[in-house]
Structure 1
Amino acid sequence: MQNSANYVESKTVYINRQDMKERRSNLVRLNKLKGFTSDLKISAEGDCRYNNRLFGGNSSTPLQLKRSTPLLRTKHLKRKLLGYTLQTNFAKKAEILRSKGEKITCPDHGGKCTANFKTTDSIGNEGLYAEKCVNEFQVDEDKLNIGYFTTDGDSHATDGATRAQTGSIENLRDTRHFSKSQQKAIEKVSFRLTMFPGKNKSDRQKVQRRFAIDIKQRCHLELDIAHRQLAGDITKIVRKMTYTIDSIVACVSGNCSTLCQRHSFVCSDRRIKAWKPAYLPADSVLKMKEGDKELLRKCLEL
């Protein structure tokens, strides 16, 4: 059974690598049919997936994480997978040999080792994994070049991809991780003590956390509706949202007026289409001064 599994494994890996190579070639061919040159830079996104038996292991000790699965996919062709690599420091055979007193260092010992890096190496090295994925692109007959690479905020994957490819790559952040960073920033800001309602400091901190969630939701909706109404035209979106931050600050401070009518996609200062905070306590009033508005504006400009 193990021999059969090993045989199927090698064939599966080969078939998948050939399939991803064919997808990359098809993407280059489609770009040529559209009139673009072969060196056109595409938009791609990548991330790591971790396999760990302990829930929440990514916030615990690094040795708990046993396996990471970095992947890279294009934003074209319905987001198909273009590159993939598996990194693991898990080797059951080595553990058995160590229990018998043998000195085994993975993956440098003799025989077959399922681990491909040491337990002391960082499993979160996304830069190295992205470099390995993009290296596969460089050996293709029609090389696929990346121009924009979307990752989470704390990733160094773009640096690794740039090392493997000739030419610079612009790093973009995905909205989910960016919204989370924005929420944390608002939660940690030292607003005035009397800005939020509450009987004591603990109550006011709870309201501030709910306020951070509400602002995150508002920003997400503003961008989402802008994309839909302007058909994803980034030039029009940037121009239209120039003063959206000012309108949000004015709106949450109780001055929902002309700014919302002109520059907001979710609030128009009307009873029917006015922004209603979903997470703040009912009938709560925020007593914002100019200093508080400036702190909020800095969080929105991350």
Structure 2
Amino acid sequence: MTELNKLDINDKIQKVKEVNVTRGHPENIINISTDARYNSSVMFNPKTLGQNASQAFSLAVETNTDRKYILACAVQNKLCWTGAWLRGKGMEVDCLGGHAECTANLSPAALFSEYEMGKDIGIQLGPQDVLVRYVTEDNVAQGAKGVDDAMRALHPLWKVERLADAVHLGQSQFHASNRAVYSDEMFHSKTKEEKKELQMVFGNDLKSRCSMIVIKRYSPSMTETWRK
């Protein structure tokens, strides 16, 4: 299954390179978008202490074409059913390679790292003769730095630039507006609950206006790039 997945990803990379050649762009420069997911419904930040997640996944999706092919996947896993079964039988075994068929690659007490997952993605793409110019991610991620370090290991003069995801940018503006301290005259309300509700409405309006400006400002150039 792993070998089939590698062959499929290699095929997708070749297809993206063919599109680059058709458009007259450098063949091996592929831009990607990354984001991490955790097996937890209450965890949103990899730096949060006391994480209740045991697995993290980060995908690299190419943004050169409309197909949005997945070109790499990084996994951080704290689970090992074999190790748990052996310990249940009274055997003293440690995971992270301490026994045969260990599936864990991260200790239970370690923090998840989007930087390390980004570096893993860069290590996977490097041997495929892929150079990543731009990495689009959310406002708290460090995956782009990991991809940059992996690319520089093979090409010291290469530089990977990080782009902010417009969706997460709008969410950040909304949360920043809700956390901001406004004067008493800003919102005319009789109760704290009413003031909080008005502040949320204001934050939503601010997010929508800023998002509209970003879309109107950058959509024409993005469409022009896609048509090339």
User: The TM-score by the shorter chain falls in which range?
Assistant: 0.7 to 0.9
* 1:132 counterpart = 2:140: no
2:158 is the counterpart of 1:170: no
Question: Is the Cα contact below 8 Å between 2:35 and 2:58 reproduced in 1?
Answer: yes
Superimposed CA distance per residue, residues 54-95 of structure 1 (whole angstroms, 9 cap, x where no aligned partner): x31447764521111111011123211111122211112222
CA contact (8 A) 2:139 2:169 kept: yes
Distance 1:168 1:196 in 2: 46
Displacement after TM superposition at 1:107 (Å)? 1.3
| Superimposed CA distance per residue, residues 2-42 of structure 1 (whole angstroms, 9 cap, x where no aligned partner) | xxxxxxxxxx2211111111211222233234333345x33
Equivalent residue, structure 2, for 1:270: none
Quote the residue 1:149 is aligned against. Answer: 135
Residue 17 of structure 2 aligns with which residue?
A: 28
Q: Of 44, 49, 53, which residue of structure 1 is paired with 2:37?
A: 49
SS in 1 for 2:132: strand
Partner Cα separation in structure 1 for residue 7 and residue 180 of structure 2: 50
Structure 1 gaps of 5+ residues are 1-11, 235-302
Candidates 103, 106, 127, aligned match of 2:95: 106
- On the 8 A contact 1:28/1:144 being kept in 2, the answer is no
On the 8 A contact 2:82/2:101 being kept in 1, the answer is no
Residue 196 of structure 2 is aligned to residue 205 of structure 1 = yes
Task: Supply the AA of the counterpart residue of 1:136.
Answer: Q
The alignment status of 1:14 with 2:22, answered yes or no, reads no
Out of 185, 193, 213, which is 1:222 matched to?
Answer: 213
Output one character per residue of 1:121-170: Cα deviation in whole Å (capped at 9) or x when no partner: 212x1111111112122212xx1111111001000101100011031111
Cα distance in structure 1, aligned partners of 2:211 and 2:25? 33
Q: 1:161 to 1:51 in 2, by over 3 A?
A: same
Q: TM-score, normalization: structure 1?
A: 0.65
- 2:148 counterpart letter in structure 1: T
1:95 paired residue number: 84
Residue 52 of structure 2 corresponds to 64
Q: Which residue type is aligned with residue 48 of structure 1?
A: A
Question: Is 1:37 aligned to 2:26, yes or no?
Answer: yes
Q: Which amino acid aligns with 2:21?
A: K
Task: Report the CA distance between 1:225 and its aligned residue.
Answer: 4.2
Of stretches 192-201 and 146-155 in structure 1, the one that deviates more from structure 2 is 192-201
Structure with more contact order per residue of length (Cα contacts < 8 Å, sep ≥ 6): 2
Equivalent-residue separation in structure 2 for 1:76 and 1:226 (angstroms): 20
Aligned position for 2:185: 194
Confirm or deny: 8 A CA contact 1:70 1:129 kept in the other structure.
yes
1:67–1:90 contact (8 Å) kept in structure 2: yes
Aligned ranges 1:71-90 → 2 under 5 Å: 71-77=59-65, 78-90=67-79
**Stretch moving more, 92-101 or 206-215:** 92-101
Deviation of 1:98 after TM superposition, in Å, equals 2.5
Q: 1: distance between equivalents of 2:86 and 2:115? A: 32
CA–CA separation in structure 1 for the residues paired with 2:214 and 2:51? 39
Aligned to 2:107: 118
- Aligned match of 1:279: none
- Counterpart Cα distance in 1 of 2:193 and 2:60: 43
Q: CA deviation at 1:192?
A: 1.1
> Take 1:24 and 1:62, find their aligned partners in 2: how far apart are those partners?
38
Counterpart of 2:196, as a letter, is: Q
User: Which aligned pairs between 1:205-284 and structure 2 lie closer than 5 A?
Assistant: 205-227=196-218, 230=220, 232=222
Moved more, 131-140 or 218-227: 218-227
Aligned residues: 216
When Rg is computed on C-alpha atoms for both structures, the one with the higher figure is 1
Q: TM-score, normalised by structure 2?
A: 0.84
